[in-house]
A and B are shown apart, each in its own frame.
Chain A
Amino acid sequence: MADRYQSWGRYPAATQTASRIAWRSDPLPIGNAPARDYLPFGNGRSYGDSCLNDGGALLDMRGLDRFLGFDPATGILRCEAGILLAEIIDFALPQGWFPPVTPGTKFVTVGGAIANDVHGKNHHVAGTFGRHVRRLLLARSDGIRLWCSPAENAELFAATIGGLGLTGAILVAEITLKRVASPNLAVETIRYGSLDAFFALSSESDRDYEYTVAWVDCLARGKALGRGLFMRGNHAAPTTRERPAAPRRRLAVPIEMPVPVVNALSVRAFNATYWGKAAARRQAVQHYDPFFYPLDAIHGWNRIYGRKGFMQYQCVVPEAGGNEAMREILDRVAAAREGSFLTILKRFGDVPSPGLMSFPRPGLTITLDFPNRGVSTFALLDRLDDVVRTAGGAVYPAKDARMSGDSFRLYFPRWRTFARHIDPRFSSSFWRRVTAEAEVPS
């Protein structure tokens, strides 16, 4: 597939060579026909340029999709790093185990989940994916292989979790899965009318519900600013009588749309209808697939944004002052009339992230997406960065294609310490962009 090697936002474009890694016993294909530099590539579910290496080479890790061992008593799984969470679920769920943390798509590799230290709807109880990694086997460009864990090569371990693929190629990981009683979730969806109502619901729910998240009507303004649907859920007991079926058929967007299907009109219609038609409070038992991965039901949905692709923007702001910052962000989005199709709001808990460069930190996190309209989109995102910088927050590299180097270095103050652990032959489009004007220690 020629277009495999792009990011999920399909922006920016990058030209790079790629070699597929099929065997963990093989040396990394570095040296025989040397490229400028190398970057592991998982499954391209990052949105911006953190999984791209324009002008260099990619190491496609997806072929490393084997299990090494599984203990059904403890849930400890050893697997190669190119395996998808979807494959782990297919294998482990029938035995009563589930990924301890999962992002909003199951088509990510374990290596990608570690390199971005991903989070899910259970961040407030489980923390990030990296917290459930017991150890990992890292291959460096000089041929050395190192087991890294909190006890062994601990600094390299901390640099590799959230390390954006720059510290070497993860070949194997050992992770602890989570025991679940059934494939279903007991879910409650509550319609709420304002940002304050979100904060109240979040405080009330985070103690008793493992998964909490809100979908926000990004076009509501004034007193209704921040209104949306709050979803909270727990893994259901096996005894529930309802047996929701797994989705049977996957729809697909087979080709790129000539013009973005997402425009001001469709965003308005979608957001207004979705909020408007929702019941005030609804309880249901839901299969895990539509609960965790609603977007996975439409294969290739990123193509609806057309040729220029789209931008995601996810930031976190500290709890103190977070209320005002969120208000300001939503206000600036609504005022710009750029329209975010899906806007997600969640409170991160205070479980510490294990990575030097992990994005999640205590506070409020919001995710927005915008069709790439060029200058106006970039200008809006810069205005959002102003809010995040003032609030002392951060923007998520996994979803970024445009933050300035100054912003990045402010958001990730430990970047200098991190840089010392970067493999000298590894680099990425993202890393070159955010360190272009800085002096990088090596």
Chain B
Amino acid sequence: MRKALIVGATSAIAEHVARLFAADGDRLALLARDADRLAAIADDLRVRGAAQVETLVFDATAFDRHAALIDEAAERLGGLDTVVIAHGTLSDQLACQAAFETARRELDINFLSVVSLLTPIANRFEAARAGTIAVISSVAGDRGRQSNYVYGTAKAAVSTFLEGLRNRLHRAGVRVVTIKPGFVDTPMTAGMTKNALYAAPETVAVAIHRAVTKGADVVYAPWFWWPIMTIIKLIPEPVFKRLKL
């Protein structure tokens, strides 16, 4: 039975991960910014079999509150062995280009908040010499594109941060999993025209649950994004810069 902390628990992907944890009978602490939504999810997870569900209101950019929230969650669950981080915003690229303040806010939400959360969590797990950390990054971080490079930058930074953390915590027996979804049909992409590449949040959640359960370093979800991104990463920069992506 896990004692799992889910950050950004109202995300469509995270909610489906939580349902899989609930079916396993886990103890769960949910962090998100909307109390009504949290309550709706918590009731649902209890019905679905979670042994315990705690909810805590959290804002990704209120960095100075993060360490205390983690302590509170761990105390209520009687420990912590699994963390899933899922919150994020799909930045408005044009707005980010127009104003540094907007770009900075996007980097705060999508990157710095992850550092702020994982600093105390990594120390806690390293000391305990156990634990699993899974963070949702994105294929958007694999290569910078004109259409969303501020978001992509934040996700690239997350991926690199996790890579370093994995390298550090491997010795302590702590697992760090980087999840790289492709297009997912969630509220985040509500305004976009869907094509055949879009996956359901359930599908991505199953991949995350499997990675957390069985262990993995970097997971593309669905899997076919791995060959796609491998090819995209191979395109030489002199060619890539001319593409309209």
Q: Could you list which residues of chain A lie within 8 angstroms of chain B, going by C-beta atoms?
A: 1-2, 20, 22-25, 66-70, 91
Contact = CB atoms under 8 A, between A and B. Distances in A.
A66 B41 contact: yes
Contacts of A70: 47
B37 A23 contact: yes
B48 A25 contact: no
Given A67-B47, A67-B48, A68-B47, A23 B40 contact: yes
A26 to B, nearest CB: 8
Contact of A69 (B12, B41, B47, B190): B47
B43 A68 contact: yes
B44 interface: yes
Contacts of B34: 25
B233 interface: no
B168 interface: no
Given A22-B187, A91-B48, A66 B40 contact: yes
Given A2-B194, A23-B36, A25-B37, A67 B44 contact: yes
Given A1-B194, A23-B40, A69-B47, 7 more contacts: A25-B40, A66-B41, A67-B44, A68-B40, A68-B47, A91-B47, A91-B48
Contacts of B37: 23, 25
30 contacts: A1-B194, A2-B194, A20-B187, A20-B190, A22-B12, A22-B187, A23-B37, A23-B40, A24-B40, A25-B34, A25-B36, A25-B37, A25-B40, A66-B40, A66-B41, A66-B43, A66-B44, A67-B43, A67-B44, A67-B47, A67-B48, A68-B40, A68-B43, A68-B44, A68-B47, A69-B43, A69-B47, A70-B47, A91-B47, A91-B48
Nearest to B23: A91
Contacts of B12: 22
A91 B34 CA distance: 27
Contacts of A68: 40, 43-44, 47
A328 B190 CA distance: 51
Contacts of B194: 1-2
A23 B41 CA distance: 10
B45 to A, nearest CB: 9
Q: Of residues B34, B44, B190, which shows the largest number of chain A Cβ atoms within 10 Å of its Cβ?
A: B44
B20 to A, nearest CB: 13
Contacts of A23: 36-37, 40
Contacts of A69: 43, 47
Contacts of A20: 187, 190
A20 B41 CA distance: 17
Contacts of B43: 66-69
A2 B195 CA distance: 9
Nearest to B40: A66
A147 B43 CA distance: 19
Contacts of A22: 12, 187
Interface string B180-206: 000000010010001000000000000
Nearest to A77: B47
Nearest to B38: A25
A91 B36 CA distance: 24
Contacts of B47: 67-70, 91
Q: Of residues A2, A24, A66, which shows the largest number of chain B Cβ atoms within 10 Å of its Cβ?
A: A66
Contacts of A91: 47-48
Interface in B28-62: 34, 36-37, 40-41, 43-44, 47-48
A22 B43 CA distance: 15
Interface string B8-39: 00001000000000000000000000101100
A70 B47 CA distance: 6
A25 B38 CA distance: 10
Nearest to A64: B40
Contacts of B44: 66-68
Nearest to A24: B40
A24 to B, nearest CB: 6
B195 to A, nearest CB: 10
A325 B74 CA distance: 70
Nearest to A25: B36
A1 B36 CA distance: 28
A60 to B, nearest CB: 11
A66 B190 CA distance: 20
Q: Of residues B34, B47, B187, which shows the largest number of chain A Cβ atoms within 10 Å of its Cβ?
A: B47
Nearest to B49: A91
Nearest to B37: A23
B92 to A, nearest CB: 18
A1 B189 CA distance: 13
Nearest to A68: B43
A24 B187 CA distance: 15
Contacts of A66: 40-41, 43-44
A24 B39 CA distance: 11
A235 B162 CA distance: 53
B120 to A, nearest CB: 30
B18 to A, nearest CB: 11
Nearest to A2: B194
A24 B41 CA distance: 11
B108 to A, nearest CB: 25
Nearest to B15: A66
Q: Of residues A23, A24, A69, which shows the largest number of chain B Cβ atoms within 10 Å of its Cβ?
A: A23
A77 to B, nearest CB: 9
Interface string B154-197: 00000000000000000000000000000000010010001000
B89 to A, nearest CB: 16
B205 to A, nearest CB: 13
Nearest to B47: A67
Contacts of A2: 194
Nearest to B41: A66
A70 B37 CA distance: 19
Contacts of A25: 34, 36-37, 40
